[in-house]
Amino acid sequence: MTRYEDVKKNEKLLIALTSLTIAESEELLAVWERVWDEQVATNQTEGRDRERGFGGGRKPVLEKDEDKLLFILCYFKTCPLQIVPGHMFGMSQSQANERIHRPDGILKTALAEMGHLPERDPEKLAETLAEDGESNLITDGADRKIQRPKDNEKQKEYYSGKKKTHTVKNNVVAGAEDRKVKYLSGTCEGKKSDKKLCDEENLTFPAEVTLYKDKGFQGYEPEGTETRQPKKKPKGGELSIDEEVENAVISGIRIVVEHVISGIKRCRIVKDVFRNTKSNFNDLVTEIACGLHNLRTSYR
């Protein structure tokens, strides 16, 4: 059976299964263990009339905290059918399903305590960015495929004519210098334009911040923020040499957000077709994938 003590002897294998190096996983593990003990003990004791003390009864398949963390990270990184990680870690498919949905909130809490989760509240974004001190920001949309909804109205809602498939999306705001995800929007249907999503959330930015964007954000000008966007070629005309140089400079900076989105999608759960139908789970895994990207970036 797959166990953390065996996997960490081969760092390449550990990275392949979790996307984290030994140093990164050990730092996350230290916080994970404390959060797990606090939350599980609270959930199992508060408001319950127990016949025996907490910790009694049949022992779980994964007794060690590091194996529990390895299991959920492996699922996020590789996104297999649930029976596969169940077989790898010595449990049934139903046990694997429980293991997937039980610790995901604990992983989010651990990443939050480490300061790696992106901001989710548009009204608090300006304050968060001011504390961070990043002056050059880049925004872009990130689409993800989902299974075709069985409900006819839902499948129409989530069908993206541009992608010719059913998708959901989030807008991200990343730092051009530290390459971390500063803000993650709510999850919405993929056919909604990047600009419309920004307008609906009404993001706030601190003064003296430069926001780089692509042509999908044409007309998006948040108050008090300088924006830079590649200039479109006029109909029937050509760009001047200076305009082409300026576009190249902007694109060279804006490409960072593409690398950030690629880093988020190292977790294949937000890259492959999303199959899980649990309510709000799609949004949760995207937030955790951003947190794991920020954790890796802080090291690398």
Whole-angstrom distance between the N-terminal and C-terminal Cα of the chain?
A: 31
Confidence of residue 291 (pLDDT cuts 50, 70, 90): very high
- Please state, in angstroms and as integers, the Cα–Cα distance from residue 49 to each residue in 40, 44, 54, 55, 163, following that order: 16, 10, 11, 14, 53
State pLDDT tens for residues 113-168: 999 999 999 999 999 999 988 899 999 999 999 999 999 999 999 999 888 999 99
Crossing angle of helices 22-45 and 11-18, in 10° steps, is 50
On whether residue 289 sits in a domain, the answer given is no
> Are 128 and 108 in a shared domain?
no
Looking at residue 216, its pLDDT comes to 86
State pLDDT tens for residues 181-201: 999 999 999 999 999 999 999
Confidence of residue 63 (pLDDT cuts 50, 70, 90): confident
> Are 18 and 39 in a shared domain?
yes
> Are 105 and 128 in a shared domain?
no
One-letter amino acid of 86: G
Q: What's this model's pTM, rounded to 2 decimal places?
A: 0.91
Looking at residue 36, its pLDDT comes to 86
Taking Cα atoms as reference points, which of 208, 206, 211, 204 lies closest to residue 229? 211
DSSP state letter for 146: B
On whether residue 85 sits in a domain, the answer given is yes
On whether residue 13 sits in a domain, the answer given is yes
> Are 123 and 100 in a shared domain?
no
Mean pLDDT, range 86-110, rounded to an integer: 87
On whether residue 284 sits in a domain, the answer given is no
For 17, the domain range is 4-46+58-112
> Are 107 and 248 in a shared domain?
no
Looking at residue 98, its pLDDT comes to 86
